[in-house]
Structure 1
Amino acid sequence: MNQRVLLEVGGLIETPTSVITGPSYILWNQSTIEETGAGEYLGDRSLLTVIRRRNRIAMPGLVNTHGHAAMTLFRSAGDDVPLEKWLKEKIYPLERQLTKEAVYWGTQLACWEMLTSGTTCFTDMYFYMNESARAVHESGIRGVLSIGLLGFTEEMQKQGLADSKSHYETWHGAGEGRISVMLGPHAPYTCPPAFLLQITELSQLLDLPMQIHLSETAYEVAESYRQHGTSPIGLMHSLGVLNRPVLAAHCVHVDDKDISLLAAHDVRVAHNPQSNLKLGSGIAPAVKMRQAGITLGLGTDGAASNNNLDMFEELRLAATLHKGVLQDATAITAPEALEMATVSGARAVFRPTGDGTLTAGAVADVVLLNLESPRFLPTYDLVSNIVYSASAEDVTDVFVAGQEVVRKGEPVTLDTEQIRYQIERITRNFERK
């Protein structure tokens, strides 16, 4: 394939509020979009690779702002219990059996699922992240990767900091820029204040953002008040953590003071509606946070608590859940939900301005949807069709950084038969309580 590619489609979502409903095109050079427009491309085609997909809609790739990729290995292994019990009785015993090999194949499975459902960029916080990064590199997806830092002992803290620095030196900017690194303190209840200060110092030294779970459950917030006299977000503020770039996952149990702190420090929030509902954690005040000017992205969380990595489900749920809770049909509109999954998602994971759109200067992370799907008949509003009726089954082709990674619904970079075999082999040997 030539470096310059002309993609001709039957409809184009440039941004959630800029839509071309008829024949249109995208021209990119290597990984960067040069031009988009309605109708036919009128420039010189002689040195272009032309891909004609007039029965497809092009949209920006979806951005999954929170997850634990290798937890695909635990899909359905611990359902229908609250978070604290889920972690202690179901997940921790399974995680103690993880190996580097298991994490590699679990991440490959996650990449398969995400790419074929239209996700082109995701965040990951977990263990054995060198193996996760290797899987991401091979798959062609865009990954924002963090070693999950736990601070139960001084030795664990020391090793975690050293591993994070090494992970940064090895992987930040790898894959021609597809892979970036963040620091990943798991949560205030697993990282003591002194350890969080050390992580914050390393964030400053390496000029890296941080991602952390905050205020996910009412129990977590109550314990924070009991131990520290303030909320988890208030604690992060008092320690100076929020002075660094931060992506905060969940933020379900937050009050007005917490929201003001998040907004004042430009903390980005990963909203995980389906995981929060399934674990009985609650419903984050997404509308109130958006009204406060907080950048809100969407995330699936891990497949052990969702139980899939389908961002189309998160889109629809984000757009409908808050309508019902607030009894307001305008609470989050279809364009706003799509913005959360694309433009705001890209900003939440600290991607450059323009990412999450199909506009000149943005990266060519492009998803094609089947315009002939029954879910697009009739089409009064393309964005509404995408948010309220489309599904992962409608994804036909995916390009990341201008490279084709899914063709006709199948990955072109992954050996799916080998992934299936390895997942079945590895999980067959897990001991379950």
Structure 2
Amino acid sequence: MIAIKNILLLNNFEEPQKCKKSDILIENNLITKICNAGDLKIPEGATIIDGTKKAIMPGLINTHTHIPMTIFRGVADDLPLMDWLGNHIWPLEAKLDEEIIHAGTMLGCMEMIKTGTVAFNDMYFFTDSIIKAVESVNMRCTLSYGLIDLCDEEKRESEMNSQKDVLNSLEKAHNKNELINAAVGPHAPYTCSAELLQHAHDLAKEHNVPMNIHMNETEDEIKQIKEKTGLRPFEFLNSLGVFDDINVVAAHCVHVSENEMKILKDKNIYVSHNPLSNLKLGSGIAPIPTYLKNNINVTLGTDGCASNNNLNLFESIKACATIHKGVQQDSTVVKVSEVLNMATKNASKALNYNSGEIKEGMWADLVILDLKNPTLIPNKNIVSHLAYSFNGVVETVIINGKIVLEDGKMTTMDEDKVYEKAEEAYLNLVN
């Protein structure tokens, strides 16, 4: 049980002037009471957090990561996507093992928690090692195995069997630890056959889990699909029924036609906007203002550390809040409230979470900020600072009602050991 006293409650990004000092009670994993500061009767035995000169906000949710790739940070910079993937990333991934995956995941979890992210949506391999790491850290996640068959029938059968095994493993992990959630993850239309894409959809529908997929990241991949099928990627997948009756989180969505945008809206697809990865790889800039005008669901992701090169979602928030103003030459597009909602309640809806807002009955996935921070002063404009100036260094993080970061220090891991293991993993990977 945790009682938070006299803290500035940042739960109304649209009307920041209504944010006020409050008391909050957390019991087990839920927010059970929110009241005016000073009104809370603190139950006996509760852990008390003094919120004086502090603010509390919903924890951020990163909707597109490849978390073990923290080990790849800086290994292949300044390259086009296909060169980056085919000549650098995929050859390194062929050398991965369970220890490297575990070390990278531990480092990634620590980086995200220390910068205010409480949950992430991942697509990668060696999911058992990822599960082991996130369980020990007490971090919320949705995990999917990256399906790739390159239209090879033998490879497809192997991938289908692997996906079934991973889903069973994830469901067992969820039954043991509710923080672990499952998804299905076909990599992209250009790496998956029609049969594999349909199989992924059927599994997602059968198990009632989201589907993760990379979509329309570059013009080259769109050209590949159109030459092969006569359709653009969203049109092709829609013709296969891949978007029907499931939650789809489509990463990137940089280059879309008017008809594809209609599919996004009609099928209620969630876009995971990864602005910094798209910029670094030279993929382009997604039409976020147009998505917002058309009421298309937009969330935020960082992508992996090989293409960002960090997991600090506050940097993606600032990028999203600024680059579209420059591209559109219109300072009124993508408002602060919109981009903060992308990283909180929009993401929560995409992943079927009971979080993203601070309300009674919701999960206690919360972030506390020390207002004695030069990037957050003057405090009167705190919501603006979250998007435009904050460096992402948070004081305390609560996930599922448990304090995992206190006064900037992890409570669920040995930080020095994580750094040591990550360095060892990198050397094992590149040597």
TM-score bracket relative to the smaller structure: over 0.9
Instruction: State the secondary structure of the residue aligned to 1:342.
Output: helix
1:166 — aligned with what?
165
Match of 1:319 in 2: 321
1:254 to 2:256 alignment = yes
Instruction: Report the TM-score, using the length of structure 1 for normalisation.
Output: 0.95
User: Any idea what the Cα deviations from partners look like across 1:269-327, whole Å, max 9, x if unmatched?
Assistant: 10000000000000000111122121110000000000000011011111111111111
Alignment of 1:102-251 (within 5 A): 102-152=100-150, 153-172=152-171, 173-174=174-175, 176-243=177-244, 244-251=246-253
Rounded to whole Å, the distance in 1 between the matches of 2:153 and 2:424 is 35
- Offset of residue 431 of structure 1: 3.5
Query: Which is further off, 29-38 or 227-236?
Result: 29-38
Secondary structure at 1:381's aligned position in 2? Answer: helix
Is contact 2:366–2:397 with CA below 8 Å preserved after alignment?
A: yes
1:54 equivalent in structure 2:
52
Name which of 7, 10, 29 aligns with 2:7: 10
Provide the identity percentage: 36
Give the distance between the partners of 1:44 and 1:193, measured in 2 at CA.
57
SS at match of 1:165: helix
Comparing 27-36 with 8-17, greater Cα deviation is found at 8-17
Secondary structure at the aligned position of 1:260 is classed as helix
Deviation at 1:193, TM superposition (A): 0.7
AA in 1 matched with 2:220: Y
> In structure 1, what is the Cα distance between the partners aligned to 2:42 and 2:380?
34
Q: 1 CA distance for matches of 2:42 and 2:412?
A: 31
- Note the C-alpha offset of 1:44: 5.1
Which shows bigger deviation, 221-230 or 196-205? Answer: 196-205
- Per-residue deviation, 1:55: 2.3
Aligned to 1:347: 349
Q: Deviations over 1:162-217 (max 9, x none)?
A: 33223222323246411100000000111111111222222222222211000000
Q: Distance in 1 between matches of 2:210 and 2:20?
A: 40
Q: Which residue of structure 2 lines up, in the alignment, with residue 426 of structure 1? A: 425
Aligned-partner Cα distance in 1 for 2:200–2:153: 13
With 192-201 and 217-226 compared, the bigger mean Cα shift is at: 192-201
Determine the structure 2 residue equivalent to 1:80: 78
Secondary structure at the aligned position of 1:6 is classed as: strand
Q: CA deviation at 1:21?
A: 4.5
Q: Give the C-alpha shift of residue 41 in structure 1.
A: 2.7
The 1-side partners of 2:24 and 2:156 are apart by: 47
Matched-pair contact (CA < 8 Å) for 2:219–2:255:
yes
Contact 1:106/1:423, CA 8 A, preserved across alignment: yes
Q: How many angstroms apart in 2 are the aligned matches of 1:89 and 1:242?
A: 31
Question: Which amino acid is the alignment partner of residue 418 of structure 2?
Answer: I
Q: Structure 2 counterpart of 1:359, which letter? A: K
Indicate yes or no: 2:299 matched with 1:301.
Answer: no
Distance 1:175 1:116 in 2: 26
For the residues of structure 2 that align with 1:145 and 1:431, how far apart are their CA atoms? 26
Say if 1:139 and 1:182 are closer, same or farther in 2 by CA, change over 3 A.
same
* Partner SS state of residue 65, structure 1: strand
* Amino acid of the structure 2 residue aligned with 1:10: I
Amino acid of the residue matched to residue 5 of structure 1? I
- Asked whether the 8 Å contact 1:375–1:390 carries over to 2, the reply is yes
Q: Deviations over 1:350-371 (max 9, x none)?
A: 324xx10011111100101110
Which SS does the other structure have where 2:296 is aligned? coil
Q: Which moved more, 1:106-115 or 1:23-32?
A: 23-32
Q: Is the 8 A contact 2:7 2:37 kept in 1?
A: no
Mapped to 2, the partners of 1:303 and 1:82 lie a distance apart of: 16
The amino acid that maps onto 2:284 is G
Aligned partner of residue 429 in structure 2, secondary structure = coil
1:188 and 1:115 map into 2 onto residues whose CA distance is: 32
Q: 1:416 to 1:175 in 2, by over 3 A?
A: farther
TM-score normalised to structure 2 length: 0.95
Q: Structure 2 unaligned runs (5+)?
A: none
Counterparts of 1:15 and 1:33 in 2: how far apart (Å)? 17
**Correspondence list, 1:265-414, <5 A:** 265-352=267-354, 355-393=355-393, 395-414=394-413
Distance 2:371 2:353 in 1: 29
1:49 to 1:158, Cα distance in 2 relative to 1, 3 A: same
1:296 and 1:348 in contact (8 A); partners too: no
Matched-pair contact (CA < 8 Å) for 2:7–2:50? no
Alpha-carbon displacement from aligned partner over 1:354-389 (angstroms, at most 9, x marks no partner): x10011111100101110111122123221011111
After superposition, the Cα gap between the structure-2 partners of 1:198 and 1:22, relative to the gap in structure 1 and judged at 3 Å, is: closer
- Tell me the secondary structure at the aligned position of residue 345 of structure 1: helix
Q: Deviation of residue 256 (structure 1)?
A: 1.1
Mapped partners of 2:108, 2:368: distance in 1: 20
Question: For the residues of structure 2 that align with 1:303 and 1:129, how far apart are their CA atoms?
Answer: 18
The count of corresponding residues between Structure 1 and Structure 2 is 426
Q: Bigger CA drift: 276-285 or 147-156?
A: 147-156
Q: CA deviation at 1:255?
A: 1.3
**Hey, what's the Cα distance between the residues in 1 that align with 2:203 and 2:7?**
48
1:131, CA displacement in angstroms? 0.6
Rounded to whole Å, the distance in 2 between the matches of 1:45 and 1:166 is 45
Compute the displacement of 1:48 (Å). 3.2
Instruction: Give 1:18 deviation, angstroms.
Output: 5.6
**Structure 1 CA distance for aligned equivalents of residues 42 and 298 of structure 2:** 41
Cα separation, partners in 2 of 1:69 and 1:52, compared to 1, 3 Å: same
Cα drift, residue 16 of structure 1: 2.1
Which 5+ residue runs of structure 1 have no aligned equivalent? Answer: none
Q: Is the 8 A contact 1:185 1:191 kept in 2?
A: yes
